[in-house]
C-alpha cells in the first residue's frame, strides 16, 4: 500500500535528519576522544626522571580497590558515577620502592581525594607505611580535612599538617540501614523469603522495619572490635591515650564549644595534628623539603603513579611463578567485567593458571560479600581442579570474604586474612517478589490453567504452598552443602561449622579463633605461603588477569585525567542509598539461591 505523497516526503526528511544528527554526534564524539588522546599524549608535566633527593606524593583518588574496574563510557561522558579508583598494590609497591630508592628522601601523603577503603586494606597500607618509616626517611601527611579512614593513614606520618579551617572527624564504625517492608506492603509487593541462618540479615530489609535482635548483636560486636582496633592503632601512632581519642569523638561538641567552634584548633589541642598551615604555607614547606626553587613548588616532587611508571623493571617470565588472581565484587553468573566476580570469567583465569606450567601455585585474593550460590559453586569447582592438578591454592582475604566469598575460599590449602577482614556469614537464602497485590490494586488479575502445582509459577500469581516447599527445601539443601563444604575444607564437624555459621559475620581475628582462617597476614604473606607449599624459593609473583583492550586503556586514561564531572557529585541522599542497596542484590541466580552478606556491603568500605 503506497503512502500519501506528503506523508512520504515527511518521513524521508525525518530519516535524513536522523542520519544527519547521528553523523554529527558521531563526529563530535570522535573529536572529543581525539582531544583526550592528545591531552594524554602531550599534556601534563610528567618528569623525565625521578628527582634526586625528592619526595614521592601518594595521592590516591576514589576508592582504594584490589583491582580497577572497567570504565563505563556513559559514566565517563555524563559524569554520573565515580570514575577514579586506586589499586591497593600501587600504594604498597610505591612505599616499598621508595624505601629502597636512594634518590627519594621521603613520602608525602595527600589523601583528600581518597573516598573509601576497607578497614582491612587500611591496615595493609598502614603496615606498609610503618615499614617505610623504618627506612629512616621522612613521612609527611597534609590535608584540608581528614575523614576517619584518611586520618588513620595520616597518623603514621612523622608530621601531620591540617589547614587552619580544616577538621579531623572520627565518627566510628556503624551506620543505618534502610528497611523496605512497609513500602513493599503499601505497593502490594509480596516478597517470598526462604532462608537458613538465624543471623542471615541480607533479607531483613524486605521482611522487617528494623534489625532483628540477633542481627543487631552480631553486627554490634563486629563494629566494636573494628573501632577498638582503630583507636589502638591511632593512639600508638600518635602517642595518645585511647581515653583521649574516645573523648575527642564522644564529646566532640563540647570540645568545639570550648574552642569557639574552631575544628582545626580542637584537633591541634588534642594532639591529632602537629601543624596548621594554609596552602601557600604548605607549598613553601614542601618545596623546601624537596629542594625546589622559589618559582616552582612542584620541583623535587613526583606523583606516585608517575614514580611507579618510571621505576618499573622488566617483566620477563620466570620458570617459577606464583599466580595471583583477584576476585573482587559481588559474585554473579556468566562473564562479568572487572569489579564483579563472574563465574565464567574468573573460571577462565583459574584454568589459565592451571594450564600454565610456569605457575607453581595460586593465591586467590578475595574481596567479596558473596552473591549467587550457583556462581560460587562453579568457581569452587574450578579451584578444585586446580588443586587436583597438584598446584597449591592459598586464599588471601582482603576487606571482605563473606558468604559466597567464603564459599570459594573454604577448600583452600591455607586461608590468610587481615585481622580486620569481614568474613564468615555462612548461610543461604532465596527471595522471590510477586506482584499479585500490586496488580489487584489497579484492577489487574491473573488467572489460568495448569497441569501441576508448579505450572503457574510466575510473579503475577504468587507462590503456591507446594512451590514454597520446593524453594525452602532447596535453600536448606544449599545450607547443608555449605556446612559440608566448610567442614571438609577446615577439618571441622558440621555441628562446629553450624555454631559459627547461621549467617554470623566475624573479623579476621575472630575467624581465626573459630577455625575459619589459618593465619593473619597480608597478600605478601599469602604469596610466601604459596611458594612454601609449592616448594619453590626463587620465584616471581604475577597477576593473572584479563588484559585491558586498547579501548579500555583509553577510557581508563581519560577517567584518570579528567575525573568526575559535576553530575557525579550530586547527592541523592536516601534515594541514592536505597537504589544502591537494591542494586547490590544481583537477583539473577538460576536457582534463586544467594549467599550474600548485605551488612558487609555497607561496612566493607568507609
Q: Is there a contact between 434 and 193 (Cβ–Cβ < 8 Å)? A: no
Contact 322, 540 (CB under 8 A): yes
pLDDT at 402: 93
Helix (H) or strand (E) run with residue 445 in it: none
Fold held by 54-174+214-311: 2-enoyl-CoA Hydratase; Chain A, domain 1 (3.90.226)
Cα 434 off chain centre by: 32
Determine if the pTM surpasses 0.75: yes
Low-confidence ranges of the chain (pLDDT < 50): 1-4, 6-7, 11, 40-42, 44, 46, 72-81, 552, 555, 558-559, 561-585
Q: What is the pLDDT of residue 369?
A: 92
Cα distance between residue 118 and residue 9, in whole Å: 62
Count of CB atoms within 10 A of residue 118's CB? 27
Which sequence spans correspond to the domains of the chain?
54-174+214-311, 314-427+501-563
Distance, CA of 502 to CA of 482 (rounded, Å): 11
CA–CA distance from 39 to each of 25, 34, 537 (Å)?
Answer: 21, 9, 45
Kindly calculate the radius of gyration of the chain based on its CA atoms and give it in whole angstroms: 27
What single-letter DSSP state applies at residue 334? S
Q: Which three cell numbers stand for residue 560?
A: 584518570
Count how many residues are written for the chain. Answer: 606
What is the pLDDT at residue 15? 58
| pLDDT at residue 32 in the model | 61
Separation CA 287–CA 293 (nearest Å): 7
For the beta sheet containing 301-303, the strands, ordered from the edge strand earlier in sequence to the opposite edge, are 275-276, 159-162, 138-143, 104-110, 54-58, 301-303
List, as one string, the DSSP characters of 7-56: HHHHHHHHHHHHHHHHHHHHHHHHHHHHHHHHHHHH-S---SSPPTTEEE
- N- to C-terminal Cα separation, the chain: 65
b or e along 304-336 (b: 16 or more beta carbons within 10 Å of the residue's beta carbon)?
A: bbbbbeebeeeeeeeebbbbbbbbbbbbbbeeb
Listed residue (458, 434, 427, 512) closest to 225, CA to CA: 512
pLDDT tens track for 401-446: 999 999 999 999 999 999 999 999 998 888 888 888 888 888 998 8
Q: Do 54-174+214-311 and 314-427+501-563 have matching folds?
A: yes
Q: What is the pLDDT of residue 300?
A: 84
Q: Could you tell me which residues come within 8 angstroms of residue 265 by beta carbon, excluding any fewer than 6 positions away?
A: 259, 276
Contact assessment for residue 99 and residue 131, using Cβ atoms and an 8 Å cutoff: yes
Q: In terms of Cα–Cα distance, which of 424, 428, 430 is closest to 501?
A: 424
Q: What is the pLDDT of residues 120-161, one digit of tens each?
A: 999 999 999 999 999 999 999 999 999 999 999 999 999 999
Q: Which residue has the cell 591496615?
A: 123
Between 3.90.226.10, 3.40.50.720, 3.40.1110.10, 1.20.210.10, what CATH number should domain 314-427+501-563 receive?
3.90.226.10
Q: Which grid coordinates are listed for 515?
A: 577455625
- For the annotated catalytic residues, the residue numbers are 200, 403
DSSP state of 452: S
Q: What is the DSSP letter of 4?
A: P
> Quick one: 145 exposed, middle or buried, by C-beta within 10 A (0-12, 13-18, 19+)?
middle
pLDDT value at position 81?
A: 47
Q: Which distant-in-sequence residues (6+ apart) come within 8 Å of 26 by Cβ?
A: none
Q: What is the largest CA-CA distance in the chain?
A: 88
State which H helix or E strand residue 172 sits in: none
Bin 443: left if φ > 0, else alpha if -120 < ψ < 50, else beta. left
Spatial distance between the Cα atoms of 518 and 505, rounded to a whole number of angstroms: 17
Amino acid at each position: 500500500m503506497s503512502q500519501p505523497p506528503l506523508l512520504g516526503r515527511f518521513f524521508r526528511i525525518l530519516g535524513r535528519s536522523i542520519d544527519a544528527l547521528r553523523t554529527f554526534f558521531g563526529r563530535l564524539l570522535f573529536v572529543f576522544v581525539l582531544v583526550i588522546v592528545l591531552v594524554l599524549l602531550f599534556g601534563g608535566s610528567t618528569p623525565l626522571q625521578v628527582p634526586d633527593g625528592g619526595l614521592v606524593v601518594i595521592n590516591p583518588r576514589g576508592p582504594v580497590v584490589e583491582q580497577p574496574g572497567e570504565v563505563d563510557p556513559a559514566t565517563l561522558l555524563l559524569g554520573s558515577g565515580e570514575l577514579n579508583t586506586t589499586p591497593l598494590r600501587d600504594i604498597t609497591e610505591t612505599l616499598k620502592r621508595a624505601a629502597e630508592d636512594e634518590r627519594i628522601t621521603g613520602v608525602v601523603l595527600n589523601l583528600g581525594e581518597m573516598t573509601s577503603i576497607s578497614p582491612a586494606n587500611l591496615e595493609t597500607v598502614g603496615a606498609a607505611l610503618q615499614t617505610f618509616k623504618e627506612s629512616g626517611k621522612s613521612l609527611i601527611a597534609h590535608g584540608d580535612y581528614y575523614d576517619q579512614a584518611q586520618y588513620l593513614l595520616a597518623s603514621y606520618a612523622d608530621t601531620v599538617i591540617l589547614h587552619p579551617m580544616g577538621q579531623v572527624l572520627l565518627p566510628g564504625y556503624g551506620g543505618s540501614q534502610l528497611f523496605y517492608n512497609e513500602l513493599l506492603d503499601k505497593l502490594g509487593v509480596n516478597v517470598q523469603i526462604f532462608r537458613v541462618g538465624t543471623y542471615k540479615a541480607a533479607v531483613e530489609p524486605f521482611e522487617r522495619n528494623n534489625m532483628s535482635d540477633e542481627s543487631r548483636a552480631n553486627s554490634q560486636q563486629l563494629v566494636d572490635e573494628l573501632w577498638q582496633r582503630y583507636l589502638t592503632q591511632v593512639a600508638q601512632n600518635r602517642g595518645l591515650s585511647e581515653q583521649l581519642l574516645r573523648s575527642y569523638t564522644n564529646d566532640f561538641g563540647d570540645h568545639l564549644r570550648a574552642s569557639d567552634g574552631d575544628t582545626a584548633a580542637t584537633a591541634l589541642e588534642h594532639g591529632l595534628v602537629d601543624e596548621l598551615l594554609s596552602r601557600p604555607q604548605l607549598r613553601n614547606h614542601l618545596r623546601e623539603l624537596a629542594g625546589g626553587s622559589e618559582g616552582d613548588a612542584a620541583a623535587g616532587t613526583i606523583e606516585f603513579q608517575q614514580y611507579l611508571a618510571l621505576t618499573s623493571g622488566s617483566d620477563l617470565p620466570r620458570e617459577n611463578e606464583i599466580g595471583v588472581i583477584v576476585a573482587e565484587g559481588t559474585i554473579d553468573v556468566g562473564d562479568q567485567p572487572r569489579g564483579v566476580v563472574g563465574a565464567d570469567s574468573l573460571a577462565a583465569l583459574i584454568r589459565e593458571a592451571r594450564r600454565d606450567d610456569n605457575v607453581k601455585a595460586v593465591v586467590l585474593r578475595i574481596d567479596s560479600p558473596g552473591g549467587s550460590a550457583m556462581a560460587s559453586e562453579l568457581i569452587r569447582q574450578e579451584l578444585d581442579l586446580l588443586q587436583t592438578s597438584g598446584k597449591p591454592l592459598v586464599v588471601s582475604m582482603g576487606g571482605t570474604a563473606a558468604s559466597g566469598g567464603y564459599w570459594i575460599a573454604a577448600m583452600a590449602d591455607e586461608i590468610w586474612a587481615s585481622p580486620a577482614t569481614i568474613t564468615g556469614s555462612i548461610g543461604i537464602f532465596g527471595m522471590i517478589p510477586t506482584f499479585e497485590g500490586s496488580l489487584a490494586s489497579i484492577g489487574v488479575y491473573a488467572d489460568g490453567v495448569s497441569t501441576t502445582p508448579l505450572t503457574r509459577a510466575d510473579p503475577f500469581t504468587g507462590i503456591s504452598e507446594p512451590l514454597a516447599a520446593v524453594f525452602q527445601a532447596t535453600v536448606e539443601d544449599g545450607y547443608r552443602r555449605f556446612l559440608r563444604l566448610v567442614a571438609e575444607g577446615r577439618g571441622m564437624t558440621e555441628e562446629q561449622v553450624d555454631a559459627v555459621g547461621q549467617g554470623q559475620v566475624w573479623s579476621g581475628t575472630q575467624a581465626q579463633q573459630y577455625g575459619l582462617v589459618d593465619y593473619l597476614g597480608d597478600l605478601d604473606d599469602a604469596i610466601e605461603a604459596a611458594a612454601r607449599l609449592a616448594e619453590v624459593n626463587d620465584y616471581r609473583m604475577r597477576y593473572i588477569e584479563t588484559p585491558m583492550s586498547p579501548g579500555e586503556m583509553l577510557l581508563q586514561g581519560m577517567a584518570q585525567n579528567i575525573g568526575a564531572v559535576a553530575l557525579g557529585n550530586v547527592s541523592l541522599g536516601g534515594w541514592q542509598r536505597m537504589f544502591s542497596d537494591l542494586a547490590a542484590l544481583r537477583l539473577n541466580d538460576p536457582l534463586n539461591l544467594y549467599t550474600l552478606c548485605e551488612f558487609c556491603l555497607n561496612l566493607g568500605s568507609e
